[in-house]
């Protein structure tokens, strides 16, 4: 897979793996229940990780009794592919339209504005 685009459910499991590192199904399941604050079937998490392995989103270490899953793509690769897809589909390839829409629709924290300004300054220097 060269362009990782996980489903919403897969992305939630990838976020767990990115934040905690390699995990067993049991560890991912426990963390997912904590995040959702609700019961999630263990078999659902297992099946989703198996599908993600088949799709190439996670690697599986089978050397121990409990298999350990690791993301095969860095968070930046996955989020970049998702943003590229969104820009292409919803904004006719215009990143500026995406940014304008995102900033217009919700309050923006002053720290975020400072980060955006710093990014624009770096881009202008190129």
What's the pLDDT at 69?
98
What's the pLDDT at 3?
67
Asked whether 80 and 69 are in contact (CB, 8 A), the reply is no
- Choose the CATH number for 8-71 among 3.40.50.1860, 1.10.1270.20, 1.10.10.10, 3.40.50.150: 1.10.10.10
Q: Which helix (H) or strand (E) holds 33?
A: helix 25-36
The residues of the chain scoring below 70 in pLDDT are 1-3
What's the token pair of residue 43? 């078999």
Domain ranges of the chain: 8-71, 94-126
């Amino acid at each position: 897979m060269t362009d990782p685009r996980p489903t919403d459910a897969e992305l939630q499991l990838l976020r767990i793996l990115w934040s905690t590192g390699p995990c067993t199904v049991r560890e991912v399941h426990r963390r997912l229940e904590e995040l959702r604050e609700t019961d999630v079937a263990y078999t659902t998490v297992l099946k989703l990780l198996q599908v993600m392995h088949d799709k190439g989103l996670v690697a599986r270490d089978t050397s121990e009794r409990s298999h350990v899953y690791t993301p095969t793509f860095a968070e930046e690769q996955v989020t970049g592919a998702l943003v590229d897809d969104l820009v292409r589909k919803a904004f006719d390839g215009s990143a500026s339209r995406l940014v304008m829409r995102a900033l217009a629709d919700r309050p923006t924290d002053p720290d975020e504005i400072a980060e955006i300004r710093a990014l624009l300054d770096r881009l202008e220097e190129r």
